[in-house]
Amino acid sequence: MMRFGFDIGGTNIAAGVIDERDQLVAKDSVRFPCGEGNQAVIDACAGLYRKILDQNAIPEQAIAGVGVAVPGSVSPREGVVVDAHNLGFHHTPLASMLSDVLKKPVALINDADAATLAEHRIGALKGTQTAMLITIGTGIGGGLILNGELFRGGRDNGTEPGHMVLRNGGRLCSCGINGCAETYCSATRLGKDGAAFGKQNAREVIEAAKEGNEQALALFGAYIDDFGSYIASIINLLDPERIAIGGGVSGAGSFLLDPLRADAEKKCFFETCPEIVIASAGNDAGIIGAGLIVS
């Protein structure tokens, strides 16, 4: 049987069909109906579901179930999105609402957990028993593999690696706490600090650093120092086999990884540092991971 996955974001809703070999065989996306209410989101998802099946001649009876990834806290057992601020979901029974329309069982997962599951099944974390995905974008997301399984938290709340406090009394985070890791290790940090010398975003800062711009190099060096401290702290706590870095900043490739590995190794307690690699499941990881939670 095939499975269907949704990756609902604040800009677009992406979705696709995953076959028995865990391969994405059909996909499409639509605009997220921002500010139009929960029912508009359900209608958009239902329309996208039927469009993908129709355009690819996939009968509905071939779909075993539907998985949904959202950027926020979820209660998988209850099928409720507890809080997804960018989507306007607060204690929203999304699973039952979508199931009523699609006439399929629906399961929920946090989007970073979905990406981690995809990386573990088909990507850079494949074959590991203990590993972590860290996604670096506007904020920091990620997920954890323990004993070969996705770890959703001891109380089923998931994990929030971006909100580990890296610096006591540090920069104010969007969550209201000072010093969270994402205020120092996200793409947003690079963009904000780069504005002081005319750079609009992380990509421009990194390109300028590659070209030898002294201000950009100094900023990128400070960023690596903070990011390396963050990675070393994770290593010292979990002793993982492998850490995969995803998200927009990971596009810097070896320009990011080489100094990051060196910095983390200096701060790592253990004699050897685990592998630090670039995530490989790509932009479809959320869709694939959502489909993989369907039993």
The whole-number pLDDT of residue 195 equals 96
Q: How many CB atoms lie within 10 A of CB 274?
A: 23
125-279 maps to which CATH number?
3.30.420.40
2-114+284-292 maps to which CATH number?
3.30.420.40
Three-state SS letters, the chain = CEEEEEEECCCEEEEEEECCCCCEEEEEEEECCCCCCHHHHHHHHHHHHHHHHHHCCCCHHHEEEEEEEECCEEECCCCEEEEECCCCEEEECHHHHHHHHHCCCEEEEEHHHHHHHHHHHHCCCCCCCCEEEEEECCCEEEEEEECCEEECCCCCCCCCHHHCECCCCCCECCCCCECECHHHHCHHHHHHHHHHHCCCCHHHHHHHHHCCCHHHHHHHHHHHHHHHHHHHHHHHHHCCCEEEEECHHHHHCHHHHHHHHHHHHHHCCCCCCCEEEECCCHHHHHHHHHHHCCC
| Domain extents in the chain | 2-114+284-292, 125-279
| Mean pLDDT in residue range 228-249 | 96
Query: What pLDDT, in 10s, does the model give residues 278-288?
Result: 999 988 999 99
Query: What pLDDT, in 10s, does the model give residues 13-42?
Result: 999 999 999 999 999 999 999 889 999 999
138 pLDDT band, cuts 50/70/90, is confident
Q: How far apart are CA 49 and CA 36, in angstroms?
A: 19
The whole-number pLDDT of residue 172 equals 95
The whole-number pLDDT of residue 127 equals 96
The whole-number pLDDT of residue 123 equals 95
Query: What pLDDT, in 10s, does the model give residues 76-116?
Result: 889 999 988 778 899 999 999 999 999 999 999 999 999 99
pLDDT > 90 fraction of the chain, expressed in percent and rounded:
85
Query: What pLDDT, in 10s, does the model give residues 179-190?
Result: 999 999 999 999
SS3 225: helix
261 pLDDT band, cuts 50/70/90, is very high
Query: What pLDDT, in 10s, does the model give residues 142-180?
Result: 999 999 999 988 887 778 899 999 999 999 998 889 999
* Domains 2-114+284-292 and 125-279 are alike in CATH topology: yes
